Structure 1
C-alpha cells in the first residue's frame, strides 16, 4: 500500500475522550450497535466521524469488500498456502459446495454422537480430548463457558505435552469409562500424538480390553488417523481449508457437541452465521467487526499502542483472553505483506487480558496510572450465570462499567501526584444479553471477522502461521541428537539430559 493510503489516518489527532462527548450528544448512539444479542459500545474510544471516514477510504483502497466476498466465496484467500479459508462454510455461509460438504461432515459427527449416547461405545462418562493450539483452545472455551451446569460428561482438554497435565486427567477419570478424542489437523502433531499414546497406555493398564475402540479422531488427514489405528467409522474429518484456530465449528468442536448436546452446537453455528451475515451486509460505519478493527488500527498506527487487553467480567468467559491471544497474534503477527514485502508498520498488537474483578486488584494499576497506553475491552453479560444473591452480579457489572468510566475521565490531584489519574484512556464494551450458545457463537465469529478486517487493511495474510514451525523443527532435531546449536542451547541440553 502506498503512504497516501494511511496519511489521513496518521494525521488524526482527536481531543480528550471527555471532550468528544461534550461536543457530540449523539456519540453513544452513533458508536453503539446491537447484533445477535450483543451490545457493542465504542464511544469511549477515540473514533470520530473523520477517523471512520479515513478508515472507510482505506478499506476501499485495499478492496475490503472484494476480499470479504472472496473469502465467503471460497476463493484462495490464503495466498501463501494457496487455499481457501472456509470456516464460515461450517456455519452455512460460504460457497454452495463447501456448505454442503460441511453439512455432510456435521451429519457424520451427529451420527457418531447418537451412537455414543445409545451405548455403542459402552459406558462413557468422561471425555479426554488431546490437541493443541486451535485443536484445544476452541473446544476448551466452549465447554468451560457453556458446560458448567449442562455438560453431560466430564471433559478434560489436555494440550500441554507436560505429563503433569495428562496425569491430572488420569487421576480424575476411570479409564474404562473414558472416550479418548485425538484432535490434530495433520495427525502428526508431536505433542498431541505423544499425549494420545500415553492415554492409550493408561487405558490399557486400566483394564480396557480394546482401547482403540474408544478412540475418536478429529482430523483433516483421515488416512493418517486410520494408519495410526483408529477405525474409519470413528474418524471425523474436516476440510483442509479450515484453519486450526478457526476450526471449533468443524469436527474439532466434537467434545463440545457431545458434552453440551447437538442442539446447543447447532445454536452456536446459528449465532456465528448471524454475525457472518451482519459482517457481510452491513455498511462499514455500522459494521461491528469493521468498527472494532478501525479502533484497533487507530491505536496501533496513530497512538503506537503495542498491546490491547480484553477483560471478561464473567467467570464463564475466563478462557476468552487466551483464545483471543492465539486468534489475533497467530493470525496477524506477521511482518510481510501478501506480496512478501516488509509491512513497514506495526501489525497485530500483543493481546493479553484477564478476568474481572480479579484483574482490578492485579494489573489495573498500570492501566490507570502506568506509562503505557493500553486499549481495554470489557466483555460482560447482563443475565447472571449464578443463583446467588443479586448483589454478586450487580457488583460485577458495576465494577466493569466504573472501570471504563474511570479510565476515560481520570482524576487530577495537584497536591498529591501519586493519586492523580491522567484519564483519556480508551475502552470498548461488549455487553451480552445472556451467555448461551447462540450469543457465544456470534461473539467468536465477531472476533474472527475483526481479525480479517485488520489483516486486509494491513495487506497481510491472517490464515497462515509459519512462525510456529522453526522452533518445532529445531526441537525435533535436538531430540534426535547429533544436532549442534549455539553454545547456550547446547549447554542447556547437556544440563537437562546429561
Structure 2
C-alpha cells in the first residue's frame, strides 16, 4: 500500500462511504440539507447537497485533504515553486490573471510585468483589427480571423469564444482549425477571401506537426491567390516562443506574442493564446474574464476547506472514484452557449490526471483521473440519461446553468430550468417498486403485468450530482467557472500525489507517428515494425499510389 491508502483518513473513508444513508432519507430527515451543503463564490452557486455524504463523511474528506498536504501544495503553486517536477517548471496560469501590482516570482523574477506587457500588446492588436485599422496587403480591412492550433491552443479559445457569443463583434468572424485532416482546413478556406483573412498561429515551438502543417497550407493558399511572401506579414501573426522560425516564415517580429514554460497548453487561454477570444469579444471583456478567474483564484487560495468550491468538488470526485468505483464523470450544460464546455473540461482533467505513478515514481494503488464526458443536458435526456438513471455504473454528474438567458423567448428558459432541476431530483430520489406499481394502478393491465412493468420502471436513485448556477453567463462568470474546474483538477492531483502538469502520455504516439510518416513515404514496403503496423502502412501506400 502507498502512503496515501495507508492514511488514517483514507481508511476512515473506506468504511464511512459504505454507511451513508440513501439520499432520499438524508433529505427527508434534514429540511436544512440544502442550506448546509451549498454556498456561493466568485459569482457561482454550488449545490452539492445531492451527494452521498453526511457530516461525518465530509469531515473525513477534508481530513484527507489536510493529510495529503493540500494547503501546502496549493500555496506552492501560487508562489511559483517548481511543482511540475518531471519538467522542472513552475505552474503559474494564475499569474496570467493576477492583479497588475501582484508579485509572482519565477526563478526570483516577478513575471507579472511581462504578463501585463503582453496584455497591453494584445489590446493594441485587438483594437487595430476590430476598428478596421489593420489592413490586408490590398488595403482591405479584416473580416475573418482563422485560429490555427491544437490541444489547449485550440480547444480553450474555441470553447470560450462559443460561450461568449452574445459579446461578439458583428464585424468579424472567427474560425478554428486543429485537425490535421486536410478536409478541416480546406472547408474553412473555401469560404474565405485571402485579402480579408488574418491567421493566428499558436505553437510554442512553431513546429507542432498538426499546427505547422495547417499553417503552411494556409500560406500556400494565400500565395496561390496572388499574394507575395512580403505580404505574409499582413495576414499572419503568431503566439510562439520561437521568434526565429516565425520571422523566417514571414511573420513580423512585432506581431509575435510570447508563450511561457510555466504555463501548460490546457491552462493557456488566459494568455496570448486567447487572442481569438479577445478579437471577438473585445479586450475589456477579455480582461473581465481574467477578473472572474482571479476572483476564483482568491477564493481557492483563501477560503476554508469546508467552504472552498474547488476543494469540495475535487474531494467529491476523489470520494466517488476511490471509494465508489466511479470510472467516469458527466458534465451537463443547460445553456446552448456552453455546449462545448464538457470537451474542454475533458482535456483539462484527463490530460492532467490520467497518471499511474506518484510524484516519486511509485505505482499508484488507487484510481486516478476518471473519464470526463457530457454535452447539452436537454439533448442528453433523450439519449444517455437512460444510462445515468438505470445503468449499473455509478456516474457522478455536474449540472451547469445560468438563471437568466441571453435569449429570453416565451417559456424556453423555464422549461430548460425545469429539465435541469428535475433531472437532479430524479437522480437523487429515484422511484421505488411500490411507486412504480401505484402509477400503473389505473391501467388495464393484469396484476401480473403491472408488477412486471413496475420492475422495469424502478430507478434506484442515490445517484450523485452537483448543480452550479450563475445569474447570467458573462465573461466574469465564465472565467470563474473555468478557473473552478482548473483548481478542482489540481485538488484531485494533490490528493493522489501525482503530477497534474506534465503529459508524457501524449508523447509516445506523436514520436511513433513521425516514424510512421517517414515510412509512408518510403519506396519499399514496411517490414521493420509489428505485423499490424506494417500491413496498415502498406495498405495506405497502395491506396495512395
Q: So what's the TM-score if we normalise by structure 1?
A: 0.97
Give, in angstroms, the shift of residue 387 of structure 1: 4.1
Q: Which residue in the other structure is 2:118 paired with?
A: 105
Contact 1:378/1:428 (8 A) holds in 2: yes
Aligned residue pairs, count: 497
- Of 126, 129, 134, the residue aligned with 1:120 is 134
Give, in angstroms, the shift of residue 283 of structure 1: 0.3
Distance 1:354 1:2, change over 3 A: closer
Give, in angstroms, the shift of residue 73 of structure 1: 0.7
Equivalent position SS for 1:172: coil
Q: Which residue in the other structure is 2:475 paired with?
A: 437
Contact 1:311/1:321 (8 A) holds in 2: yes
Q: Which residue in the other structure is 1:165 paired with?
A: 184
Determine the C-alpha separation between the residues in 2 that align with 1:149 and 1:109. Answer: 18
Equivalent position SS for 2:26: helix
Give, in angstroms, the shift of residue 69 of structure 1: 0.8
- Of 78, 85, 95, the residue aligned with 2:104 is 95
Give, in angstroms, the shift of residue 479 of structure 1: 0.9
Determine the C-alpha separation between the residues in 1 that align with 2:414 and 2:188. Answer: 35
Determine the C-alpha separation between the residues in 2 that align with 1:386 and 1:282. Answer: 35
Q: Deviations over 1:128-170 (max 9, x none)?
A: 1110000001100111111256234100011111111112211
Contact 2:330/2:397 (8 A) holds in 1: yes
Q: Which residue in the other structure is 2:340 paired with?
A: 319
- Of 50, 57, 61, the residue aligned with 2:63 is 57
Q: Deviations over 1:266-289 (max 9, x none)?
A: 000000000000000000000000
Q: Deviations over 1:16-58 (max 9, x none)?
A: 0111212333221121111122111100011222222112222
Equivalent position SS for 2:134: coil
> Is 1:401 aligned to residue 424 of structure 2?
no
- Superposition map of 1:141-156 within 5 A: 141-148=159-166, 150-151=168-169, 152-156=171-175
Determine the C-alpha separation between the residues in 1 that align with 2:512 and 2:254. Answer: 36
Determine the C-alpha separation between the residues in 2 that align with 1:217 and 1:51. Answer: 50
Q: Which residue in the other structure is 2:382 paired with?
A: 361
- Superposition map of 1:272-421 within 5 A: 272-389=293-410, 391-412=411-432, 413=436, 415=451, 416=453, 417-421=455-459
Q: Which residue in the other structure is 1:247 paired with?
A: 268
**Relative to structure 2, which stretch is displaced further, 198-207 or 243-252?**
198-207
Contact 2:52/2:462 (8 A) holds in 1: no
Equivalent position SS for 1:299: helix
Q: Which residue in the other structure is 2:6 paired with?
A: 4
Segments of structure 2 that go 5 or more residues without pairing to the other structure are 438-450
**Relative to structure 2, which stretch is displaced further, 413-422 or 245-254?**
413-422
**Relative to structure 2, which stretch is displaced further, 96-105 or 354-363?**
96-105
Q: Deviations over 1:284-327 (max 9, x none)?
A: 00000000011101100110000000011111001101001100
Q: After the TM superposition, list the runs of 4 or more consecutive aligned residues in structure 1 that deviate by more than 4 angstroms.
A: none
> Is 1:203 aligned to residue 222 of structure 2?
yes
Determine the C-alpha separation between the residues in 2 that align with 1:276 and 1:222. Answer: 32
Determine the C-alpha separation between the residues in 2 that align with 1:147 and 1:384. Answer: 13
Determine the C-alpha separation between the residues in 2 that align with 1:379 and 1:202. Answer: 41
**Which structure's CA Rg is the greater one?**
2
> Is 1:37 aligned to residue 46 of structure 2?
no
RMSD, matched Cα? 1.5
Determine the C-alpha separation between the residues in 2 that align with 1:317 and 1:351. Answer: 16
Determine the C-alpha separation between the residues in 1 that align with 2:57 and 2:204. Answer: 41
